[in-house]
Amino acid sequence: MSDPNTKAITNGGANVVSGAILMSTTIDYYYAVMSGFAYLGEPELRRIADAANATINYKPMDILRVFATTETTPPAKQSPARRKYRDIEIARWAQLRGLPVNVAPKHWPILPATPSRAVLSAKHLGLDPGPLSFAMLRGVWAEDENIADADTIKRIVSATYPDQADEILKLATADTSTQLFETVTDEAIAAGVFGSPTFVIDSEIFFGQDRLDLVAKHLGATA
C-alpha cells in the first residue's frame, strides 16, 4: 500500500543488499501512540520486518475516530471484567517480551494528535520514525510520561533526533502534519482497521500484537 505523502526510507521501496536490489514488502502499521499492545509488539514487529526484508510504514492514527466510526468500545470504557483481564494480558505479554510495564499508566488515555504528528513529521522528513514511535509508547507504558504535553514531546524528539529536532517540531505544528494525521486515519478506516495495533500486508489484515507470528508466516511466504 503506497503512501504518497511521505518520503521513502528505502531505495524506491526496495532494500539494497550486496549490490543487488531486493523488492521489499511493505507492512502498513496502523496504531495509536498510546496503545499498550502496540508498545508490547513494536520491537517484535521490527525484528520480523528486518528478518523478512520488509519495510514498516508507520501510520499513527486517530484511534478515537476509528473507534467511533467502527462502533468499537474504547478500552477505557469497557466493562470492569474486560479491563481487569486486559491488565493481566498486558503484564503477561510484557514478561514474555522482556519489556518493563506499568499496567495502570499515569497518563493514559491521552489525546493522540500531537505526538502522532511528531512521528509523522519525522517520517515525512525521510527519517526512520521507529525510534520516536517506540520512545512515545515506552514513555506512556514504562516511564509515566505525558506524551500529549508539548514540553515532553520536545524532550523526547530532541533525545531521539538531536540534529533534526527543530525541523521535526516545526513541521509537527504545521497544517501539513495535521493533514497527514487525518489522511492516515481515513486510510485506516478504509482498510477496515478497528483497533491498535493493526498490520496490513497486501490488503490482508492482522489485528493485535499477538498475531505477529501470523505476520511473520505471511512474510515468509511472500517476502
Domain at 64, CATH number: 3.40.30.10
Does residue 110 belong to any structural domain of this protein?
yes
Share of the chain above pLDDT 90, in %: 87
Does residue 9 belong to any structural domain of this protein?
no
Q: Domain count of the chain?
A: 1
Does residue 7 belong to any structural domain of this protein?
no
Does residue 91 belong to any structural domain of this protein?
yes
pLDDT of residue 61: 98
Rounded Cα distance between 164 and 161, Å, is 5
Rounded Cα distance between 129 and 123, Å, is 5
Does residue 185 belong to any structural domain of this protein?
yes
Task: List, for the chain, all residue ranges whose pLDDT scores fall below the cut of 50.
Answer: 1-21, 222-223
Give residue 143's domain range.
14-222
pLDDT of residue 215: 97
Does residue 6 belong to any structural domain of this protein?
no
Rounded Cα distance between 220 and 53, Å, is 10
pLDDT of residue 91: 98
